[in-house]
Amino acid sequence: MKFISTRGQTEPHSFTQALAVGLAPDGGLFLPEHLPDIAPRLGGWGNLSYADLCTEFLAIFATDIPDEVLNRIVHRSYAHFTHPQIAPLQSLDVRTSVLELFHGPTLAFKDFALQLLGNLYEYQGGLSGRSINVLGATSGDTGAAAIHGLLGKPRSAVFMLYPEGRISPLQERQMTCTGADNIHALAIDGSFDDAQRIIKSIFNDHTFSQRHRLSAVNSINLVRVLAQCVYYLYAWLQLSVTDRRRVEFVVPTGNFGNIFAGWLLAEMGVPILGFKLATNQNDILHRLFTTGEYRIGTVQPSLAPSMDIQVASNFERFLYYQLGGDTTQVRQVMHTLQTTGTYQFAHFDHSTLSTSRATDADITSNLRRVYETYGYIIDPHTACAFQDLHPDRLSIILATAHPAKFPAAIGAAIKQEPTHAALEDLKLRLVVKHRLPADEAAIKAFIAARAV
């Protein structure tokens, strides 16, 4: 299968080519050239293990990776998840279930894609003999998951920038207590935006970024989206025939990455009734779906920090399908958005998608209510999804992080702080981080000295 760009000015790429470049050269995002119809295969997939299902699904797209190699890479990617079902479905009551996506190495759903991405990079590096230096900026979960995807791998190094003092102590420990020589956690004296700006500027220095074979990890890589389709499929396959007809997936959303994966799976012929996009107080997507207007504002820090986002980068993929695959129009809309920060859609067809919005007060009260009703502790991101659930549907709520990652917010709501053995272990380990000024030259010098 080939992959095309949402902006229509890139030659079709193979799976491994699209994986390697991430962003399409014309500035767009990769999508499959055509969407496969997987409906005829669903009957045979019901009893597969998570890793076997993932292999079967990805094989449809990764046609330039030999089957046995793909199988090995996928199995290795989910071997470090601590729950035997990888993505267990917990029933709370007849109308509410939780899909736990936090049993990976960094206890957030980003492990599903980034463990796989790390192993795929390793495979490519093995074929080409070339090394890779991953450069990124993080405000928390993505950085930790990317680091654990490449931990100790040959021919690879990770340089992860984060704002000193502005991420949670546990998130910092996940990045700085790895003990691996190829991981470099750079604590910048500045904000997340400063870190992000420096990264962009380093990638724009093509001579430097090519010399050191720099690569970005962010939510735009198509492989991340495809890896995330699998847990929706896995959950759906476990439902009874009746429940399959009434299920709505409810997804805490910032970048539109996670929910887009579910929506795309449905477009491939899996009959899912609906998806609910749950935002926090940074509600740009909620406003878009209720008014048709996309208006970029300023980020308001919330109790669910991994969703504190205004520009939802994966939205462009959804837009491509909204516009019937008209890449000229995609370019026009993206240009307008980038230059004016706003766009008003005349027709916005989203019959399978609904939205909700949760303030910090809602997050706290949802956390408390879920704990009091079911004795079940959710994290603040997952708490956004417990807002205004549909009365007649079966809601499957995607739990995107383990509650122990956010002890302060939970302690304030239910007067107890959840723990996790992996995080307790981190507290005993040595922190290794590099304090650097928010200065491009200083960061380039650091990278140049340590790139592999």
Ligand X SMILES: *Cc1c(COP(=O)(O)O)cnc(C)c1O
Instruction: Give yes or no for residue 358 binding ligand X (CB under 6 A).
Output: no
Identify the active-site residue in 110, 200, 405, 415.
Answer: 110
CB of 376 to ligand X, least distance (A): 17
C-alpha to C-alpha distance for 191 and 246, rounded to whole angstroms = 44
**Residue 123 or 275 with smaller CB distance to ligand X:** 275
The residues in 214-233 that bind ligand X, with binding defined as CB under 6 A, are 219
The residues in 367-396 that bind ligand X, with binding defined as CB under 6 A, are 381
Instruction: Give yes or no for residue 143 binding ligand X (CB under 6 A).
Output: no
**Residue 178 or 219 with smaller CB distance to ligand X:** 219
Helices (H) and strands (E) in the chain, counts: 20, 15
Instruction: Give yes or no for residue 403 binding ligand X (CB under 6 A).
Output: no
Provide the H-helix boundaries in 78-191: 110-128, 141-150, 169-176
The SS3 assignment for 116 reads: helix
Contacting residue, 174, 280, 306, 366, with ligand X by CB under 6 A: 306
C-alpha to C-alpha distance for 403 and 407, rounded to whole angstroms = 7
- By the 8 A CB rule, do 395 and 97 touch? yes
Which of the ranges 18-26, 254-262, 292-300, 331-339 carries the binding residues for ligand X, by CB under 6 A?
Answer: 254-262
| Count of residues of this chain found to bind ligand X when the rule CB under 6 A is applied | 16
CB of 104 to ligand X, least distance (A): 11
For this structure, is 110 an active site residue?
yes
Instruction: Give yes or no for residue 364 binding ligand X (CB under 6 A).
Output: no
Angle (nearest 5°) at CA 166 between 165 and 170:
80
What is the number of other CB atoms lying within 10 angstroms of the CB of residue 53?
Answer: 20
The residues in 105-124 that bind ligand X, with binding defined as CB under 6 A, are 108, 110
The residues in 406-435 that bind ligand X, with binding defined as CB under 6 A, are none
Instruction: Give yes or no for residue 262 binding ligand X (CB under 6 A).
Output: no
CB of 385 to ligand X, least distance (A): 9
Q: Among 153, 58, 67, 143, which residue's Cα sits nearest to residue 106?
A: 143
C-alpha to C-alpha distance for 277 and 254, rounded to whole angstroms = 9
Residues 6 or more apart in contact with residue 121 via CB below 8 angstroms = 19, 132, 134, 150, 153, 156, 215
Active site residues: 110
Q: Which residues bind ligand X (CB under 6 A)?
A: 108, 110, 141, 219, 252-258, 306-307, 381, 400-401
